[in-house]
Structure 1
Amino acid sequence: MQVLRRHEDLGLQPERTALAWVRTLASMMAIAVMFLKWIPDFGWLVLPPIIFASAVLLWVLFGSQRRYQQGVVGIAHDSIRAPLCEVIVLGGSVAVLVSFGFFLLYMIG
């Protein structure tokens, strides 16, 4: 088990950032559940977005400790790297899921 470092940030920046990523996890879970609700209407067509949303959810979950550690170390060194890759991948995955949802709605409409 890895021991997390402490920091001297009274604003608790790493904790606030970690909570923001938890809210992101909840959003991805809600998207997956929304697609689950569509199984009676679309059958197996909703399985790819459910699997994709679940994969993104797990990717965010397993990267959370690393991002927290980087925030704590960044505070100690007065230099925090923005998680640009994570944000771009997450934004792209949300765009893909929304596009797939619109596609399915277009199919029935």
Structure 2
Amino acid sequence: MTTPRPRRPQPHADPGLQPERTTQSWLRTSLTMTVVSLLFIRWINVFGGLSVVVFVVCIGLAIAAIALQVRRYRLGAVSIRAERGRPTPWAILFLASSVCLIAVLSIASVIKITLD
């Protein structure tokens, strides 16, 4: 006779819905930020030490975005259980400005390579 395996407690009543999709999109964005930051390491022979600084900033922003999403996921699960959601505009503003900063750094890098 086998004993049933204990089920893991679900964080909310809607598995696979909004919190999971949001987490996946934030993880994809963080992965993209990481890949772009790795491109700056590839250009170290062009930019020198500046390339390393930009790499560290970009990786830091990607890690911060993942850390923010962990907190947002928990808040999303609580709001589903309570049937009352609260928007978190600061996290969205942080991610949007991080992506814009990385885009500006990338564009400036391409312009510098083109002009040299």
TM over 0.5: yes
Query: Which of 34, 38, 62 is matched with 2:39 structurally?
Result: 34
Tell me the CA shift for residue 11 of structure 1: 5.3
Residue by residue over 1:15-68, the C-alpha shift from the partner in whole angstroms, topping out at 9 and shown as x without a partner, is 111111111111111111111111111111212221111111111222232111
Look up the match of 2:61. Answer: 56
Q: CA RMSD in A?
A: 2.1
Unpaired stretches in structure 2, ≥5 consecutive residues: 1-8
1:106–1:33 Cα change, 3 Å: same
Query: Which of 73, 81, 85 is matched with 2:86 structurally?
Result: 81
Secondary structure of the structure 1 residue equivalent to 2:24? helix
Moved over 3 A (4+): none
Tell me the TM-score normalized by structure 1: 0.83
Tell me the CA shift for residue 5 of structure 1: 5.5
Look up the match of 2:77. Answer: 72
Look up the match of 2:108. Answer: 103
1:16–1:93 Cα change, 3 Å: same
Larger Rg: 2
Q: How does 1:10-25 map to 2 (within 5 A)?
A: 12-25=17-30
Tell me the CA shift for residue 103 of structure 1: 2.0
Aligned length: 107
Identity %: 28
Distance 1:26 1:45 in 2: 22
- Tell me if structure 2 keeps the 8 A contact 1:5–1:69: no
- Tell me if structure 2 keeps the 8 A contact 1:32–1:50: yes
